[in-house]
Amino acid sequence: MEILILALPLIASIISGFFGRLIGDRNSEIFTSLLVSISAIFSAFILYEVIINQYQENIVIATWINSGSLNVNWSMKIDSLSAVMLVVVTSVSSLVHIYSIGYMSHDPHKPRFMAYLSLFTFAMLMLVTSDNFIQLFFGWEGVGLCSYFLIGFWFKKDTANSAAIKAFIVNRVGDFGFALGIFLIFYLFGTVNYSEVFDKIPTILEKDLIFLGIKIGAIDLICLLLFIGAMGKSAQIFLHTWLPDAMEGPTPVSALIHAATMVTAGVFLVVRCSPIYEYSELALNIITIVGMSTAFFAATVALVQTDIKKIIAYSTCSQLGYMFFATGVGAYNVAMFHLFTHAFFKALLFLGSGSVIHAFKDEQDINKMGGVWKKLPYTYTLMIIGTLALTGFPFLSGFYSKDAIIEFAYLRGNTVGYYAAGIGVLTAFLTSIYSWRLIFKTFHGNYNNKEINIEETHESPLVMLIPLIFLSVGAIFAGFTFKEIFIGHGGTNYFWQDSIFFLKPLSTEHPPIWFLFLTPTLVILSIPVAYYLFLKNKDLTDRIVKVNKPLHEFLKNKWYFDELYDEIFVKPSKKFGLFLWKFFDLKVIDGLGPDGISSIIKKFSIKANKFQSGFIYQYAFVMLLGFSALLTFLIVK
């Protein structure tokens, strides 16, 4: 059964990709959705076995590399951590497959799209079930490749192609650091298998290395290089620029890749490597700082965005920041808890936004919407549920996981932990403001679309609404149901067993009462504030924007990261490339190589052609010159 969880999405991808035209569009959709759904059911059973019977297994599928001390298998590591990820990946993927049947109904390339979705699911499953860094890297690059295919699926759109290339290149930057980290692990330990590497970590705690002329501890360097890879995949600040642009892909892609699966791979990597990170205080502090910076940055940018999908994309970026600073303060289990709950409500919001876009005939600007909550009652209700869960409204899933992150950051007790807790509270307030801004501007107020009559807007078909209903159940109940299992008494309970390593047990104390009530109070108060600013008194909002125009422009342009990178990297690279092309390629290589040689031969041929005059005396003269030259050569010799 465990192997079938991996095999079924791969089979679905092969059948739909190679035989889609033969079996037809509808059969491709049904076949891929069915196989991935079966995989999801099996994954749920595995999680049940892990929870009830503490089931663990390492299934070797095949031997992959056996060279010297490098022994790598294709394997399937089943433990608490991988079981959680199996459920997240397969459940969201199966619902996205079903949703895509309705959303992509007018697309002429449905089998190819479904094949890409299934192949992505397989690659992600390979990533989360690996028992070594090489198989992990295979899955890591596999999801990166599939994301390139899916983001650029509508390849006739220049913006989609540009977004796909951008995602691919930015991720390669992070992956370069990740690859160096794996090389360093093999150099130091002679193995890349998790269990062997984790057992040998204490042997290098005092070892120092020189890297780029800087003396640094070996354990710190490993952690930082691996984290660079995690930053790229999980769109943390400085390597985040690809995520919002990736919204150019179809909405089901956004829900699958950029809400629940691929972008969480970086968080999974850090948690899986907790036996390494627990020994590096430097790396943990840097992760905390990067995570809280990303959470705040993305929330501020989301405040002023007008593209419905980009608002949710920046929200994803922000929530990933929460997960990272949870790992930075040592609360790996809480990070996984938020990853688990976030998958449901963020996929719900993405697919809900897709339902809105579907109703507005591909319009994504929230300023061109409004007043349709009665026309789209089911989508409206389901997105309200997703928004409440995202903002951490009391007793929904986000309330349990996000507040737990802030609390454990506070209980960390050091300066970085207090800063992270403070930023977490502020970001929670901003999250609630921009989330309700999206709801109010999309569904309430006046209808603002001049191109589409309000009567033309319509509710999505049942095949798109059913996945939303299932996700809404997770958004409501996942937090309450799994809180005790995932966190328990500080999170070091029996569920995680040895899949997460705690050098120091997490604090079992409680923060002050005022701190426990601070975040929920701000979240609740933000609803009337957002209502007043974005619905009741829009003039006040406009005046605030005018007074703070430089700040508004700064946020609207996403802190000018793209412009900065354009000046620092893109333009110099283009100039350097043009120089290499025009000087070295055209003048040096071509000039001295094929073009130069052919030019010389051509000139020589033209000169030699003049001797072919047809006059006998000229031929005799040339023969005499040749004979004289030969005679001279023989005499001198």
Strand segments, DSSP code E, in 46-85 are 57-67, 70-78
Question: What is the rounded CA–CA span in Å between residue 222 and residue 270?
Answer: 11
Q: Is 371 left (phi over 0), alpha (psi -120 to 50) or beta?
A: left
Greatest CA separation for the chain: 116
Tell me which residue of 401, 407, 406, 435 sits closest to 526, measured CA to CA: 435
Residue type, 536: K
Return the structure tokens found at 156: 């006739």
Q: How many Å apart are CA 289 and CA 283, to the nearest integer?
A: 10
Distance separating alpha carbons of residues 299 and 316, to the nearest angstrom: 9
What pLDDT, on a 0 to 100 scale, did the predictor assign at position 260?
A: 64
Q: What is the mean pLDDT of each run of 10 residues along the chain (637 residues)?
A: 91 92 89 95 94 89 85 91 94 93 87 93 94 93 92 87 92 94 93 92 90 90 95 92 88 78 90 94 94 95 92 93 93 93 92 90 88 90 95 92 92 87 94 94 88 85 92 93 81 75 80 90 94 88 89 92 91 88 77 73 74 72 83 77
CA neighbours within 13 Å on the CB side: how many for 326? 27
Determine phi and psi for 300, rounding to 5 degrees. Answer: -65, -40
Amino acid at 160: A
Among the listed residues 192, 181, 187, 75, the one whose alpha carbon sits nearest the alpha carbon of residue 125 = 75
Q: Is the dihedral of CA 327, 331, 335, 340 positive or negative?
A: positive
Within 13 Å of residue 589, how many CA atoms lie on the same side as its CB?
A: 7
Residue 623: both structure tokens together: 């023969």
Residue 449 DSSP SS3: coil
* CA dist 356 → 257, 295, 458, 471 (Å): 19, 26, 9, 17
Pairing of strands 208-211, 214-217: antiparallel
- The reported pLDDT for the residue numbered 166 is 92
Q: Encode 155-211 in three state secondary structure.
A: CCCHHHHHHHHHHHHHHHHHHHHHHHHHHHHHHHHCCCEHHHHHHHHHHHCCCEEEE
Buried b (16+ CB within 10 A) or exposed e, 17-56: beebeeeebeebbbbbbebbbbbbebbebbbebbbeeebb
What confidence score (pLDDT) does residue 448 get?
Answer: 86
What pLDDT is recorded for position 493? 58
Q: Are 345 and 471 in contact (CB under 8 A)?
A: yes
Report d(CA 265, CA 234) in Å as an integer. Answer: 7
| DSSP per-residue string spanning 470-519 | HHHHHHHHHHHHHHHHHTTTTT-STTTTTSS--SSPPP-----HHHHHHH
Cβ-Cβ contacts under 8 Å for 110 (sequence gap 6 or more): 20, 25, 28, 29, 104
pLDDT of residue 349: 93
What does the DSSP assignment read for 555-593? HHTGGGHHHHHIIIIIHHHHHHHHHIIIIIIIIIIIHHT
C-alpha span between 210 and 205 (Å, rounded): 15
Return the structure tokens found at 213. 């002329």
Q: What does the pLDDT read at residue 491?
A: 46
Backbone angles phi, psi at 557, to 5 degrees: -90, 20
Alpha-carbon span 332 to 503, nearest angstrom = 12
pLDDT of residue 582: 79
pTM: 0.90
List 59's β-bridge partners, or say none.
76
Structure tokens at 525: 């108060």
Cα–Cα distance measured from residue 258 to residue 250, given in angstroms and rounded to the nearest whole number: 12
Residue 181, CA atoms < 13 Å, CB-side half-sphere: 27
First-residue to last-residue Cα distance in the chain: 87
Of 234, 194, 197, 236, residue with least CA distance to 218: 197
3-state secondary structure of 66: strand
CB atoms within 10 A of CB 4: 13
